[in-house]
Copies of this chain bind each other. A is one copy, B any other.
Amino acid sequence: MLIIKVMSGITGNTKLMDLLDEPVPGVGTYEDFNTIDWVREKSKDRDRHREITSKSKLSTPALLESISDAFSGWLLMLLIGLWSGALAGGIDILAHWLTDLKEGLCLSGFWYDHEHCCWGSNETTFQERDKCPEWQSWAELLGGSSVGASAYIVDYLMFIIWALLFAFLAVILVRAFAPYACGSGIPEIKTILSGFIIRGYLGKWTLIIKTVTLVLAVSSGLSLGKEGPLVHVACCCANILCHLFTKYRKNEAKRREKYAAAGVSYYFPLKTLWRSFFAALVAAFTLRSINPFGNSRLVLFYVEFHTPWHMVELVPFVLLGIFGGLWGAIFIRANIAWCRRRKNTCLGRYPVLEVLVVTGATALLSFPNSYTRMSGSELISELFNDCSLLDSSQLCGYITYSNTIPDRPAGPDVYTALWQLALALVFKMLITVVTFGMKVPSGLFIPSMAVGAIAGRLLGVGMEQLALNHHDSAIFKSWCSPGADCITPGLYAMVGAAACLGGVTRMTISLVVIMFELTGGLEYIVPLMAATMTSKWVADAFGREGIYEAHIRLNGYPFLEPKEEYGSKALAQDVMRPRRSDPPLAVLTQEGMSVGEVEAMVADTDYSGFPVVVCQESQRLVGFILRRDLVISLGACNARQRQEGVVSASLVFFTDHVPAQPTSGPPAVKLRGILDLSPFTVTDHTPMEITVDIFRKLGLRQSLVTHNGRLLGIITKKDVLKHMAQMANRDPDSILFN
């Protein structure tokens, strides 16, 4: 609402206001890499809502508009759910096919993956479900034979070549079309949800390229998962669909609610929770009708264990928790050190080469070991599964004396499997550190869970054999009688996976919920809780940041941790600017300044906003004006109303009423419309801990500091973050954005 008034008397006032009371385009928007003002966005939306409601009483079309406005949120969630569910299903199917393509081809149709190829075959027995004549390995296709050293080498080479091809395509596509499509996206989305703006991060190119390259990256066999990137994909869908509805297109806060509902439920009010419900419902439907897991259940790894656990087993569960915590802490440090090295040395200049080298190494090392050759989710699924009698897997190679399952000493197959698993564990731990952060889409859930599941299964089999051979010892006597199947190695794998995931991501309650959703095992809540809590404690002892927070910090994003405890006794006056040695705060006065003076002040400083005071002497605060709004308004007024006689000498007024002027002077510029009349203030004696709390809870961009009613200074979100970095002995200049 920019109002330029040619003063010809007080009566002209209202008429001119009406004529010019149209918004200047751009006022109220934000620049890239800046933080939004939550309070302003929310009240903008409430104004819009009120306007529609009051109009709806006047006419039928307006009433219909109001109803469609109310339902647009639900419609949007429906569309987001459908679209992102369909994408997730499609990515899953494609990734399966491409992964199997590395090993061979289906003769009955090249578009079948290994499993579906053999489903259609008549010669498949239940025992060897994955062997059928229709599925031919590359050695069979190219050399005609499936046995012997040369066939093995052909398969090995084809495996590496396909992996390199997929990885090369992925990294090239990311670099050429959408640099934002790399990584997991979770750190950036957390920052965006907290109010930061990164233009294009959730755009259509990012969506297309991330979807395609995610399939390629997963298929290439790299040690990465697709859950994190799928959250990014869902947020892209949300963002693109938001542009169909005015309500969301024009409001940064409302749009973020949808991102959160689409991705993670985080930071938002109860209504959003209900809506994300709805999205989950629709996504579940879509997933169900596509049915990528082929078992008509909505859970990923459905497990059923047939023995309950015993209290004594909490000891190994806690040990798994400690392992998970240590691995989490070490992984975060190593990965961050590696990423920093990539950023600061010449390594960062050859991302394509880096991806190719890592993919080559991964393929080379993973092919000989069947546990690394299979995909991460297959591995986890195999490790979670309990052995039934019919199970042909190596891990179930127990010696069976009778036709009953219980009391099974491990056979040579199991020992081979254990060795292979131990090697796979070391390999996965090392390769994941260098993989996460490369310029391809990469998630962390599956690799972290795989590491934990391997460790858990190893410990589980160990415990099982220990119990078998020491039935009479004091520990096992009371609950594990000979012949009973008292220890479930699959449960250990599940607990280990949860512990490692908790150590790496530090997700709180949500982790156990996710584990439920992934496994459906509701009875094992106590083992899971014991392990994840231990893991969190151990990992927190080495540093409180999870991997996503560490990456946010590495990139210098302005993210105010909701959980970080603040221990300093500093007051607002110690953090605010100007400091004691600085020049005084740049303020505008509500009357008496000319357009030229204002323009000079804007040009001389780079602050993103200016307080407006009654006069320089009293420093009594009137309001706050954003630099961007001020520049746009003055610019527009220069361009549009030059003919109306606004010159540099024109006076700028922020007051309610412009005093009558001498008719000879140039016309005045009235800018009260873009002035924020309810700026946030704290007193200079407010402890910083309270100030930080206010910034967090209200999502502020800045707060003014007063003393006995006089304006003293200003604290921005960047100041708060810098101060907190200083308190934690980190480099305050690592905070890059405002």
Residues in B with CB closer than 8 Å to A402 are: none
Given A298-B523, A522-B516, A620-B709, are A508 and B284 neighbors across the interface (CB < 8 Å)?
no
- The CA of A570 and the CA of B391, in the complex, are separated in Å by 70
Say which residue of B308, B683, B709 sits within 8 Å of A678 (CB atoms): B683
Q: Is A43 an interface residue (CB 8 A)?
A: yes
Say which residue of B522, B678, B697 sits within 8 Å of A520 (CB atoms): B522
Q: Is A274 an interface residue (CB 8 A)?
A: yes
Say which residue of B533, B563, B622, B685 sits within 8 Å of A269 (CB atoms): B563
- The CA of A296 and the CA of B308, in the complex, are separated in Å by 9
Within 8 A of B (CB), among A373-393: none
Give A570-593 as 1s and 0s: 1 = Cβ < 8 Å from B's Cβ atoms.
001000000000000000000000
- The CA of A370 and the CA of B185, in the complex, are separated in Å by 58
Residues in B with CB closer than 8 Å to A693 are: 39, 42, 698
Residues in B with CB closer than 8 Å to A522 are: 299, 516-517, 520, 522
Give A521-537 as 1s and 0s: 1 = Cβ < 8 Å from B's Cβ atoms.
01101100110010010
Q: Number of A residues whose C-beta is below 8 Å from B?
A: 69
Q: Is A569 an interface residue (CB 8 A)?
A: yes
A614 and chain B: residue at smallest CB distance: B708
Q: Is A125 an interface residue (CB 8 A)?
A: no
- The CA of A269 and the CA of B692, in the complex, are separated in Å by 15
Complex contact B508–A270 (CB within 8 A)? yes
Say which residue of B49, B273, B520, B621 sits within 8 Å of A567 (CB atoms): B49
Within 8 A of B (CB), among A499-526: 508-509, 516-517, 520, 522-523, 525-526
Complex contact B708–A508 (CB within 8 A)? no
Complex contact B690–A43 (CB within 8 A)? yes
A572 and chain B: residue at smallest CB distance: B678
- The CA of A278 and the CA of B687, in the complex, are separated in Å by 32
Complex contact A687–B697 (CB within 8 A)? no
Say which residue of B53, B284, B517, B710 sits within 8 Å of A620 (CB atoms): B710
Complex contact B43–A689 (CB within 8 A)? yes
- The CA of A526 and the CA of B285, in the complex, are separated in Å by 8
Complex contact A709–B621 (CB within 8 A)? yes
Q: Is A271 an interface residue (CB 8 A)?
A: yes
What is the CB-to-nearest-CB distance from A198 to chain B, in angstroms, rounded to a whole number? 25
Q: Is A682 an interface residue (CB 8 A)?
A: yes
What is the CB-to-nearest-CB distance from A349 to chain B, in angstroms, rounded to a whole number? 40
Say which residue of B43, B308, B509, B678 sits within 8 Å of A273 (CB atoms): B509
Say which residue of B509, B677, B690 sits within 8 Å of A683 (CB atoms): B677
Within 8 A of B (CB), among A16-53: 39, 42-43, 46, 49-50, 53
Residues in B with CB closer than 8 Å to A567 are: 46, 49-50, 53
Residues in B with CB closer than 8 Å to A563 are: 269-271
Q: Is A8 an interface residue (CB 8 A)?
A: no
Given A618-B709, A620-B710, A687-B678, are A525 and B271 neighbors across the interface (CB < 8 Å)?
no
Residues in B with CB closer than 8 Å to A572 are: 678
Say which residue of B508, B614, B678, B709 sits within 8 Å of A711 (CB atoms): B709
Give A665-698 as 1s and 0s: 1 = Cβ < 8 Å from B's Cβ atoms.
0000000000001110111011101100110011
What is the CB-to-nearest-CB distance from A527 to chain B, in angstroms, rounded to a whole number? 10
- The CA of A679 and the CA of B529, in the complex, are separated in Å by 42
Complex contact B523–A523 (CB within 8 A)? no
Q: Is A422 an interface residue (CB 8 A)?
A: no
- The CA of A621 and the CA of B686, in the complex, are separated in Å by 14
Q: Is A297 an interface residue (CB 8 A)?
A: yes
Given A709-B618, A711-B709, are A678 and B689 neighbors across the interface (CB < 8 Å)?
no
Q: Is A61 an interface residue (CB 8 A)?
A: no
Q: Is A488 an interface residue (CB 8 A)?
A: no
Q: Is A280 an interface residue (CB 8 A)?
A: yes
Q: Is A562 an interface residue (CB 8 A)?
A: yes
Q: Is A281 an interface residue (CB 8 A)?
A: yes
- The CA of A569 and the CA of B49, in the complex, are separated in Å by 11
- The CA of A713 and the CA of B508, in the complex, are separated in Å by 43
Complex contact A39–B711 (CB within 8 A)? no
- The CA of A517 and the CA of B678, in the complex, are separated in Å by 46
Complex contact B678–A682 (CB within 8 A)? yes
Q: Is A305 an interface residue (CB 8 A)?
A: no
- The CA of A698 and the CA of B700, in the complex, are separated in Å by 13
Residues in B with CB closer than 8 Å to A296 are: 308
Q: Is A738 an interface residue (CB 8 A)?
A: no
- The CA of A525 and the CA of B517, in the complex, are separated in Å by 10
Say which residue of B50, B274, B308, B678 sits within 8 Å of A686 (CB atoms): B678
- The CA of A535 and the CA of B618, in the complex, are separated in Å by 58
Give A460-492 as 1s and 0s: 1 = Cβ < 8 Å from B's Cβ atoms.
000000000000000000000000000000000
Q: Is A205 an interface residue (CB 8 A)?
A: no
Within 8 A of B (CB), among A283-317: 284-285, 296-299, 308
- The CA of A525 and the CA of B297, in the complex, are separated in Å by 11
Give A181-213 as 1s and 0s: 1 = Cβ < 8 Å from B's Cβ atoms.
000000000000000000000000000000000
Residues in B with CB closer than 8 Å to A367 are: none
Q: Is A706 an interface residue (CB 8 A)?
A: yes
A509 and chain B: residue at smallest CB distance: B273
Residues in B with CB closer than 8 Å to A525 are: 284, 298
Complex contact A277–B529 (CB within 8 A)? yes
Residues in B with CB closer than 8 Å to A530 are: 281
Residues in B with CB closer than 8 Å to A569 are: 50
Residues in B with CB closer than 8 Å to A43 are: 687, 689-690
Say which residue of B280, B520, B685 sits within 8 Å of A523 (CB atoms): B520
Complex contact A533–B690 (CB within 8 A)? no
Complex contact A526–B709 (CB within 8 A)? no
- The CA of A530 and the CA of B282, in the complex, are separated in Å by 10
What is the CB-to-nearest-CB distance from A267 to chain B, in angstroms, rounded to a whole number? 12
Give A245-280 as 1s and 0s: 1 = Cβ < 8 Å from B's Cβ atoms.
000000000000000000000000111011001101
- The CA of A326 and the CA of B619, in the complex, are separated in Å by 58
Complex contact B698–A297 (CB within 8 A)? no
A521 and chain B: residue at smallest CB distance: B522
- The CA of A677 and the CA of B49, in the complex, are separated in Å by 38
- The CA of A698 and the CA of B706, in the complex, are separated in Å by 20
Residues in B with CB closer than 8 Å to A709 are: 614, 618-621, 706, 709-711
Residues in B with CB closer than 8 Å to A523 are: 297-299, 520
Say which residue of B508, B681, B694 sits within 8 Å of A274 (CB atoms): B508
Q: List 18 A-B contacts (CB under 8 A).
A: A46-B687, A53-B567, A270-B562, A271-B563, A273-B508, A274-B533, A281-B530, A284-B525, A285-B526, A522-B522, A618-B709, A620-B710, A622-B708, A678-B683, A678-B690, A693-B698, A697-B697, A706-B709
Given contacts A677-B686, A681-B681, 8 further A-B contacts (CB under 8 A): A42-B693, A49-B567, A273-B509, A280-B529, A284-B525, A520-B523, A677-B683, A709-B711
The 4 closest A-B CB pairs, nearest first, are: A620-B709, A678-B686, A677-B685, A709-B709
